Amino acid sequence: MNQWYLIQFKPNSHRLAERNLQRQGFETFLPMQKITRRKASRFVSDLKPLFPGYMFVSINSELAPWRSINSTIGVSKLVSFEGKPKPLPLQLISGLMLRCDASGALLPPKSLNEGDSVEMLTGPFANFIATVDTIDPEQRIWVLMDFMGQKTRMQVSADQLQLAK
């Protein structure tokens, strides 16, 4: 049975590593996110790895020669503990795959509505639960968080939120 493992690739070699691993018959998964940055006087959008420096590879640890991954061009190393790679939880990989399209690009989060209970993903309020207060026409999202019995209103971007379970 195939399991997913984490590999570290050399700087800016994710395409090279992915191509060489696929040539050897390994299945790879590299989630990408769209980054918009300013270059000179204009904005440029580009796809960058969601986890810089890392990608996932599916290996049948009993049959596949997993040691050959370390010598693959573009790959730095297969992340291992005590000399043996440790499989990742299948729920983690399947959850990431569900949030990506066929090419591995991260899809925008499902649309949020006013009154939805959301969980903060990043920043100092990571893992806090908030309620969506308003959503501007420019897609700015205002949430209400409960701090010491008082409601505090703050603006966050949609990629910092996910619907609370």
Cα(67)–Cα(144) distance, integer angstroms: 50
Identify the pLDDT of residue 119. Answer: 87
Identify the pLDDT of residue 22. Answer: 93
Q: Which residue stretches of the chain have pLDDT < 50?
A: none
Taking every pair of Cα atoms in the chain, the longest distance, rounded to a whole number of angstroms, is 58
Structure tokens at 49: 């790895």
Closest CA to 100 of 6, 32, 22, 18: 32
Structure tokens at 71: 């010598």
Identify the pLDDT of residue 124. Answer: 82
Distances (CA, A) of 146 to 122, 125, 130: 17, 11, 7
- In tens, the pLDDT along 108-151 reads 666 777 888 888 887 788 888 999 888 876 667 889 998 888 88
